[in-house]
Structure 1
Amino acid sequence: MAELQVRKKEKKSGDGIGTMVDFLLANARLVLGVGGAAMLGIATLAVKRLIDRATSPPSDKEAEEKAEQKSIEESWKEAVLKKASPTLRRKEDLGLHCAPLSLPDPSQPIPEAAGTVQDKAPDEMKKIPICFTLQERLQDYHSRHASVPEAQREEARQLVLDIKAELQGFLRAKLPEIPFLALHLGGSLGNQLPVSCLDHACLLMPLVPEPDLWCFIPGQQTILSDPNFCMVKRTDLEYAARGSSPWDRFLVGSYLSSRTIVQLLHKTIVGSINWPAIGTVLDCTIKPDITSAELKLDVAHPNVRMIIRILPMVVIKDAELLAHCSADAPADNLWQQTFYRQEISRLQELDNSESGIRLQCFQILKGICRDCPALCHLTSTHLRHIILHLSTETPDWTEATLADRFLQVLEELIGYLDKGFLPSYFNDKLNLFSALKAEDIDELGYGLYQVFSEPDALLKR
C-alpha cells in the first residue's frame, strides 16, 4: 500500500512537470517569435522525454520490453531531436540504437525437426526490430518520393516543348513588331536535371532590346532604392528619338515597362490563341489563367498535370532580368535579376568535384516543403542559396554525410529566419526573404519545428 502511494505521488509530480512543459511549448511562438520557438521546441521535446523517463516508475516486464523493443519512429525522432538541439550534445553518429539480437542459450535444447524451425522463423523475425537511420530514411524518401522517373520526366518535357513550339509560332505571327529570340525551356526540365515533381515548368521568352539604347540600372540606384528591383532605362534620346526602337512603345517615363509588355502578351495568349484545338492535337487540355497578372497555362495531360509559366526576360551586360508583373508591384517598370543559371552551375560544379549530394539534398528539401503546408513559402531559390552558403562553411558533401548536411540546412534556415534576412549567394545586398511577411516567417519557423518533431510523418509519405 505504501509503495502504491509513492508511485502515485511520483506520477502526479511527473504529470505536473509535463503539463508545465506542454504549456511552455504551446505558447513559445507568442513569446519568443520564430527562431526561439523552433529551437526551444526542439530542445524542450528532448528534455521532456528525459523527464518522463525519470519520473515514470519501471514496471517489470513492461519497462524491459520498452527498452528492448523501442519503436522505430520514437528512436528516429529522438536521434534527430538530439542532433538538432543546441542544448544537447551533438551526435556525430546518427545511427539508431536498435535492440541487439539475442544469441541462443547454450543450455536450451536445439530443435531437431526442421519443420519446427521453419514454423517458428516468421514469428521470431517479427520480434526483431528493423533499424533505419536518418540517412536511410532520407535516401528512401529521395528515391521513392522526391525523384521523378526519367521516362515520366521525358514525357512531360516533350509535352512542354510541343506547347512551346505552338506558342512561339503564334506569337511571331501575331506580334511581328516585337523582336524576341526563340522561347526555351527553363528550370530543371530545361537543364536536364533530376526533377522532384512535375507540377510546374517555365518557358523563357528572351526579349531583344538594342544594347546601345538601353542600360541596366541596379535596384539600389533606382527611386525605390530596393536592391531586389532593378530597371531598364532608355538612353541616347537626344541622338535616337522615341520611336527609334520597337520597345519605345512600352516606355513608362524613361524606363522599359515590364507590366505593359506582360499585359500585351496576356491579352494575346488569353484571347487570340485557339488552345482547345492545340490541346486536341497534343492530347491534353490547355487553359490560360485569365485571373492572374502573370502569364500561366494550366495543362492537364493523362499522365501529368502542371502549370507552365511564361517569363519575358531581358539580358543586358550579362545580367538576366525577369519581368516583375505581380499585381502588388510598387511600379510598372520593375525587373528582377535572376541567378538561376549561376546557381545550378555552381551546385553541379561542387557536386562533380567530390561526387557530392547537394542537388540530392535540395530535392529532398523541396519534396518536404511541398508536403508540409507550413513550409510552402520556402522556394527553390531559398533552398539553393542556403545550400550554397553552407557549402562555403562545410566542404564535405559526400554521400555518407547526407543526414548531417540535411540537418545543418534546417539549422541554417532557422538562423536566417531568426534574422529575417537571407542574402543572395551572388549578391549579398539582396534579401531573398524580402517578399515574406512577418506571419509568413512565423509560419515557416513553426513548420521547421514540425520537421524536427515529426520527421517520420513527412518522410513516410
Structure 2
Amino acid sequence: MAEFIDKQGKRQDDRGLGGVIDFLLANTRLVLGVSGAAVLAVATLVVKRMIDRATSSPDEDDAKAEQKSIEESWQDLSLLKAPQKPPKKPSREDLSEPLLPLPLTQPVQEPREHPASLETLCAESRPLLCLTLQEKLLSYYNNRAAIPEPEAALGRQLAKDVCVELQNFLQNKYPELPFGGMVLSGSLLNDLQVVAADHVDFLLPVALEAALWQLIPGEDTVVKNPQCWMIRRTDLDYFPRGSSPWDRFLVGGYLSSSALGEMIHKMLETSVNWPVIGSMLECVIRPTVASEDLKLEVEHCRVQLNVALYPVVRVEDKVLLAKPPRGLVENLWQQSFYAAEVSRLKHLDAGDSGVRQLCLKIWKAVCRDHPSLGRLTGSHLTHVLLHLSEVERDWAEATLATRFQQMIEELVGYLERGFLPCYFDSRINLFHELLEEEIDEMGYALYSAVSEPALLLKEGACK
C-alpha cells in the first residue's frame, strides 16, 4: 500500500512537471507566433514522450528499457537539428531571376543569431563559387604554375654542371674550332619557367672572323622572311676556302646551320661518354637520337631536365640561332629576341611594380595544360603582353584579372589575322610557322573563353 502511495505521489509530481512544461510551451508559442508552430509541435511531442517514458517504468528492473526509450527520444529530438537538404548550386541563369518572398511557414532568422558574414559563410561552405577571377588566377599560379625554389635551384645547378662538362669535351674534341664559352639560357634562368624545372637552353657561340663573313637579311633572300638570315663567306679570291676554320661548314658559299648542327648531333650521339659524366654528376644523361634538334635528356632523382643546344652567332645587336624554320633552306639562321624580351619585361615591371611577369607565367602554364594551346610559346605570349603594355599603363596587382582577360581578346585578334607582329620588328610575323589548322583550333579555344576566362584554368581554381 505504501509502495502504491509512493508511486502515485511520484506520478502526481511528474504530472505537475508536465503541466509546467505545457504552460511554458504554450507561452512560448505565443512569443514565437504562428511561424514557429510546426517546430514547437514536434518539440512538445518529443518532450512529452520523454516524460511519459520516464514515468511509465514500474521499477528499477526495467532500467535498460527506460534507457532505450530515452535514447529513442534523443533520436527524435535530433530530428529538429537535422540539416536540411543542401540547396541547388546557383547557375548564371539563376542570378538573373527575381528573388521570391519567403513563405510564411519559414522562420526568419535574425542577423544577430548568425553573426558570421556572407564572405565567411562563402569561404566555409562554397569556397569555389565565391572566388573572383583574380583569386582564381592567384590560386592557379600558387597551386599549378609556380615552381618550388628548391626544385628550380636544383635544375639550374644540374644544368650548369652538364654545361661545364660538355664545354670541356668540345674544347678537347675540336680544338681547331673557336667555339666561345657555352652559356645557359631560357626561362629557368630568368625565373619565368612554370609547372616544372624541366627545360634549359645551351648556347654555343660560334666566333666568326668579321672580315670573312657578311650577314644577308632574310627579305633579300628567296624566303622573304625578315627573321631569317644567311651568313655569306666573303673575299674568297683573297682569302681562299680554308682560311677560316668554319669553311668546312660552307654550303653554296654560305655558313650552313644544318651542316654545323649535324656535326654536333653526331658528336653528342657517338663521341661523348655520357654514362661516365652522368655517374660523376649522379644523374643519367642521354642524347635524343630521334630528334632533328640537338637535345639531351637529364634525369636526376628529383628533376628531369630537357636540354636544347643551339650554335649561335652574335653580330652587333643581333643573335642568330642555328635553328632554321622547318622546310626552309638549310643555310638559314633564325634571329632570336629572347634576351631582349626578358630585358624589356623586367624593365617595365621594375618601373611600376607591375605583374607582367606573373601574368606571363600564368599564361605559359595555361598553354602548357590546354590541349589546344600547346603551340603558343612563351615568345608568342611575351610579345602579345609587350604590345598590350604599350596600350595599358596600369599593371598593378589589382589589375591582373583584367589584363588576363585582355590577353585572351588580343590573342583572338592576332589569330584571326594570322599575324603576330614582333615587338622589336613589326615586319616579322611570329605566327609564320603555325599551320592554318593550328591557328583555327587555338582561336576557337580562346574565343570560347572570352566570356568565361576561368575555363582556361585546369588546376588550382574552379572551372
Shorter-chain TM-score tier? 0.7 to 0.9
Is 1:370 the counterpart of 2:375? The answer is no
Q: In structure 1, what residue type is equivalent to 2:190?
A: N
Cα pair 2:313 2:319 within 8 Å, conserved: yes
Q: Structure 1 residue aligned with 2:390, among 392, 409, 412?
A: 392
Q: In the alignment, which residue of structure 1 is the partner of 2:171? A: 172
Q: Secondary structure of the equivalent of 2:419?
A: coil
What TM-score results when the alignment is normalised by the length of structure 2?
0.72
Structure possessing the higher relative contact order (Cα contacts under 8 Å, 6 or more residues apart):
1
Residues 454 and 320 of structure 1, relative CA distance in 2, 3 Å threshold: closer
The whole-number CA distance in structure 2 between the counterparts of 1:460 and 1:299 is: 27
The whole-number CA distance in structure 1 between the counterparts of 2:258 and 2:277 is: 27
Alignment of 1:76-91 (within 5 A): none
Deviation of 1:191 after TM superposition, in Å, equals 3.3
The whole-number CA distance in structure 1 between the counterparts of 2:323 and 2:426 is: 21
Deviation of 1:457 after TM superposition, in Å, equals 6.8
The whole-number CA distance in structure 2 between the counterparts of 1:211 and 1:331 is: 23
Cα pair 1:181 1:206 within 8 Å, conserved: yes
Cα pair 1:185 1:203 within 8 Å, conserved: yes
Q: Structure 1 residue aligned with 2:429, among 395, 417, 431?
A: 431
Alignment of 1:61-460 (within 5 A): 70=90, 104-105=109-110, 126=125, 131-193=130-192, 195-325=194-324, 328-452=326-450, 453=452, 455-456=454-455, 458-460=457-459
Cα pair 2:310 2:323 within 8 Å, conserved: no
The whole-number CA distance in structure 2 between the counterparts of 1:188 and 1:279 is: 24
Q: Which moved more, 1:360-369 or 1:198-207?
A: 198-207
Residues 270 and 202 of structure 1, relative CA distance in 2, 3 Å threshold: same
Deviation of 1:455 after TM superposition, in Å, equals 2.5
Cα pair 2:204 2:310 within 8 Å, conserved: yes
The whole-number CA distance in structure 2 between the counterparts of 1:129 and 1:207 is: 53
Deviation of 1:460 after TM superposition, in Å, equals 3.1
Cα pair 2:278 2:284 within 8 Å, conserved: yes
Cα pair 2:369 2:458 within 8 Å, conserved: no
Deviation of 1:204 after TM superposition, in Å, equals 0.6
The whole-number CA distance in structure 2 between the counterparts of 1:331 and 1:399 is: 45
Deviation of 1:268 after TM superposition, in Å, equals 0.6
The whole-number CA distance in structure 2 between the counterparts of 1:127 and 1:352 is: 37
Deviation of 1:236 after TM superposition, in Å, equals 2.1
Deviation of 1:70 after TM superposition, in Å, equals 2.4
The whole-number CA distance in structure 1 between the counterparts of 2:453 and 2:350 is: 33
What are structure 1's unaligned runs of at least 5 residues? 1-63, 80-101, 112-116
Residues 233 and 138 of structure 1, relative CA distance in 2, 3 Å threshold: same
Residues 195 and 65 of structure 1, relative CA distance in 2, 3 Å threshold: closer
The whole-number CA distance in structure 2 between the counterparts of 1:295 and 1:185 is: 15
- Deviations along 1:53-75, one digit per CA (max 9) or x if unpaired, are xxxxxxxxxxx955xx526xx69
The whole-number CA distance in structure 1 between the counterparts of 2:128 and 2:231 is: 63
How many residues are aligned here? 360
The whole-number CA distance in structure 1 between the counterparts of 2:458 and 2:90 is: 19
The whole-number CA distance in structure 1 between the counterparts of 2:283 and 2:390 is: 45
The whole-number CA distance in structure 2 between the counterparts of 1:123 and 1:141 is: 19
The whole-number CA distance in structure 1 between the counterparts of 2:446 and 2:128 is: 29
If you compute each CA radius of gyration, which structure gives the higher value, 1 or 2? 2
Deviation of 1:363 after TM superposition, in Å, equals 0.2
The whole-number CA distance in structure 1 between the counterparts of 2:397 and 2:126 is: 31
The whole-number CA distance in structure 2 between the counterparts of 1:424 and 1:174 is: 39
The whole-number CA distance in structure 1 between the counterparts of 2:423 and 2:336 is: 12
The whole-number CA distance in structure 2 between the counterparts of 1:407 and 1:124 is: 25
Cα pair 2:122 2:130 within 8 Å, conserved: no
Deviation of 1:140 after TM superposition, in Å, equals 1.1
What TM-score results when the alignment is normalised by the length of structure 1?
0.72
CA RMSD of the aligned region, Å?
Answer: 3.0
